[in-house]
Amino acid sequence: MGNITRIFDLLELYRGPFALRKIVFAGSDDNGKWLTYSASDYSMLADRVSAALLALGVKKGTKVATIMLNCPEWNFLDMGLMQIGAVQVPIYPTLSKDHFHYLLDHADIELVFVYDEGIYQSIAELIQGNSRIRDVFSIKKIAGIRSWKEFLALGDIEKQKEEIRSIRQQQLPEDLATIIYTSGTTGKGKGVMLSHRNFVSNFMAAQSILAPKKVETTLSFLPLCHVYERMLNYVYQYLGIKVYYSAGMENLAETIREIRPDMICAVPRMLEKILDRIVVRGRGLPQPRKTLFFWALHLAMRYQLYGAKGLGYEIKRKIADLLVYCKWRAALGGRLRYVVSGGASLRPLIAKVFWAAGIQVVEGYGLTETSPVIAVGNFEPGGLKFGTVGPPLEGVEVRIAEDGEILCRGPNVMLGYYKEEALTREVISAGGWFHTGDIGTLDEGRFVKITDRKKEIFKTSGGKYIAPQVIENRFKESEFIENIMVVGENRHFAAALIVPAFEHLKSWCAVKGIEYNGNDQIVRNPEVVARYHKEVERINTQFDKTEQIKKFSLMGEEWNVDSGELSPTLKLRRKFIQGKFAKIIHEIYKA
């Protein structure tokens, strides 16, 4: 459909093949009601954004920060900026003040768009102290700040139509489209410069995986300021999929049931939480429904792709679907069939359960620097293997270096890091190979398998290498464990900080007759600690002695983005965690 060489060429689909579509985007208003936008609304509003930006003196290369939650206005701004060659710099709304200060200054920001007053207040002082920033606008109304409507009124489409068209024609595929700062799990993020060609090559290859599935509706709730959700947003637009935007993950289950999407984009932690809630509800069922539930659950855990378990298993699965799995799907709106998982490693057990229940999960892998997809599973026969992130995306080359690092080459590899030529040379070697920093293998010669982060592998004081992610992922298969971080660099054994799966722990305590007096108190209960010792000992048998967790400490609070332990993509911020819990780690090794 059409000749897409620059991201904003997607707009031509909404002026052509999709022109009569009444709903292409939807977002909720302050009262929770859905506001919808048609194809003509989309193209018109993108042009109005371009006209308003030109009226403000924005030129090719002008850096504009967007600090926003997911909403249809994201697309109008995104396309309006790119049509005239301006550069969008999306920034996570949850960053610290110091991090905001660094990004606004480092990225040479001249204009800022915020979502609401809460976000504005977190940066108001920084904006006033930055002489380069000329103006700020807000999607939601804020006293004293120009609103979205006031911004749009600045331009005159009729007068500027020809100018917009002329500038649009001059934009080249290799031109800079955006600067996306990495989430900075180990420090301040780097500004990844991505061109139109980078993104277009990626979403055009990715859309072919989804195209045969005839998806009509999706719900977008992962941050659009992250490259993963943003690229998929372009896939949705290319395929004409209706996109409903959720400004956050609060009440997500209710929103999914209301919208009834055919597919979603998720991170593994979300899928794990969905399954955890299903299991908790299963425990509360009366007999014999409880027995039936767990029979179906254990059947799902043994699922294999492409009917490999045989006809007898498939007959049992059909029965389980009629009696149990259909209810799981109903709790997710009843139409959900496809999930794309990324951002972190997905445990094979989780994928098996969802596939058995009729929800097909494909896992993808990539980085901001690769726009982002390097490899992803697909829905074709033989296109998926549990425990891997699938084959390389079409047009992307992958090879494994001598030290096990995954290297990638293709049109998806970034232009470089903004203002960091030396860092760019460090990661892109001769021949255009990008060094991912991940360790992995090519399973069966074609399925990419990630084993760890190169920088996260550490040595014990005895000289033994520990790959923490491998150990952590195995431990997180336990229904008792929400999160875990393995420590032990330059120590004589591996230890761990363990965050319990509190919902599961609460139901276990109820069965055992143990009073649940709060998360912080329950982790000190001798019976609970003993149960976790038993669980750690059980999982330890799957590892060599040098990899086994010798000691651990139970955390009394969940780790999340707001409290700092997790990055916006829900990865462990290891340095932060080590600093925050330094005393606890010290106590582990003290004895």
End-to-end, the C-alpha distance of the chain in Å comes to 66
Residue 43: Cβ-neighbour burial (10 angstroms; 0-12, 13-18, 19+): buried
559 pLDDT band, cuts 50/70/90, is very high
What SS3 string covers 325-363?
Answer: HHHHHHHCCCCCCEEEECCCCCCHHHHHHHHHCCCEEEE
Measured CA angle at 555 (ends 98, 523), to 5 deg: 155
Listed ranges 155-169, 190-204, 454-468; the one with the highest mean pLDDT: 190-204
Strands 338-341 and 263-266: parallel
What is residue 217's three-state secondary structure? strand
The pLDDT score that the predictor gives to residue 1 is 62
pLDDT top residue among 29 and 388:
388
For the cut 70, the answer to whether the pLDDT of residue 183 exceeds it is no
7-171+216-245 and 262-410+421-453 share one fold = yes
Task: Give residue-wise pLDDT tens across range 409-426.
Answer: 999 999 999 999 999 999
pLDDT top residue among 466 and 238:
238
The pLDDT score that the predictor gives to residue 459 is 79
> What does R_g of the chain's alpha carbons equal in angstroms?
25
For the cut 70, the answer to whether the pLDDT of residue 520 exceeds it is yes
The pLDDT score that the predictor gives to residue 273 is 84
For the cut 90, the answer to whether the pLDDT of residue 128 exceeds it is no
Mean pLDDT on 146-161: 94
Question: Which residues lie closer than 8 Å to 409 by C-beta, 6 or more apart?
Answer: 396, 397, 431, 432, 433, 434
CA dist 480 and 494 (Å) reads: 20
Strands 63-67 and 109-114: parallel
Strands (E), 129-216: 135-138, 146-147, 176-181, 191-195
The sign of the torsion formed by the CA atoms of 469, 474, 475, 477 equals positive
What is residue 551's three-state secondary structure? strand
53 pLDDT band, cuts 50/70/90, is very high
85 pLDDT band, cuts 50/70/90, is very high
The pLDDT score that the predictor gives to residue 2 is 65
pLDDT top residue among 49 and 458:
49
Least confident of 180-189, 367-376, 449-458, 520-529: 180-189
- To the question of domain 458-590 being in CATH 3.40.50.800, the answer is no
Q: How far is CA 209 from the centre of its chain?
A: 19
For the cut 50, the answer to whether the pLDDT of residue 58 exceeds it is yes
Question: Which residues lie closer than 8 Å to 165 by C-beta, 6 or more apart?
Answer: none
Mean pLDDT on 432-441: 94
CATH of domain 262-410+421-453: 3.40.50.12780
| CA-closest candidate to residue 334, choices 359, 314, 351 | 359
Mean pLDDT on 485-498: 92
Length of the chain: 591
The sign of the torsion formed by the CA atoms of 269, 271, 272, 274 equals positive
187 pLDDT band, cuts 50/70/90, is low
219, 256 Cβ separation under 8 angstroms: yes
pLDDT top residue among 182 and 372:
372
253: left (phi over 0), alpha (psi -120 to 50) or beta: alpha
The pLDDT score that the predictor gives to residue 186 is 45
Phi, psi angle pair for 268, to nearest 5°: -55, -40
Place of tokens 């043994």: 302
Strands (E), 469-513: 481-487, 494-500
Task: Give residue-wise pLDDT tens across range 264-297.
Answer: 999 888 898 899 889 989 988 999 999 999 999 9
CA dist 172 and 153 (Å) reads: 29
Bridge partners of 112, per DSSP, are: 65, 136
Question: Which residues lie closer than 8 Å to 301 by C-beta, 6 or more apart?
Answer: 349, 352, 353, 356
Bridge partners of 193, per DSSP, are: 179, 416
The pLDDT score that the predictor gives to residue 184 is 54
Q: Dihedral, CA atoms, 8, 9, 15, 17, nearest 10 degrees?
A: -130
Mean pLDDT on 215-219: 97
The pLDDT score that the predictor gives to residue 185 is 46
Output the CA–CA distances (angstroms, integers) from residue 53 to 8, 119, 164, in the order listed. 16, 22, 10
For the cut 80, the answer to whether the pLDDT of residue 461 exceeds it is no
What SS3 string covers 271-339?
Answer: HHHHHHHHHHHHHCCCCCHHHHHHHHHHHHHCCCHHHCCCHHHHHHHHHHHHHHHHHHHHHCCCCCCEE
CA dist 380 and 378 (Å) reads: 6
Question: Which residues lie closer than 8 Å to 340 by C-beta, 6 or more apart?
Answer: 232, 263, 264, 265, 266, 361, 362, 363, 364, 376
Mean pLDDT on 422-431: 94
563, 94 Cβ separation under 8 angstroms: no
Place of tokens 């582990």: 588
CA dist 325 and 19 (Å) reads: 38
Sheet containing 217-220: order of strands: 34-37, 25-28, 242-245, 217-220, 263-266, 338-341, 360-366, 373-376
Sheet containing 176-181: order of strands: 146-147, 135-138, 109-114, 63-67, 87-90, 176-181, 191-195, 416-417
For the cut 80, the answer to whether the pLDDT of residue 591 exceeds it is no
Helices 157-170, 39-55: inter-axial angle, 10-degree rounding: 90
Task: Give residue-wise pLDDT tens across range 228-253.
Answer: 999 999 999 999 999 999 987 778 88
pTM of the model: 0.86
Domain boundaries, the chain: 7-171+216-245, 262-410+421-453, 458-590
Architecture of the domain made up of 7-171+216-245: 3-Layer(aba) Sandwich (3.40)
15, 33 Cβ separation under 8 angstroms: no
582 pLDDT band, cuts 50/70/90, is very high
The sign of the torsion formed by the CA atoms of 278, 283, 287, 293 equals positive
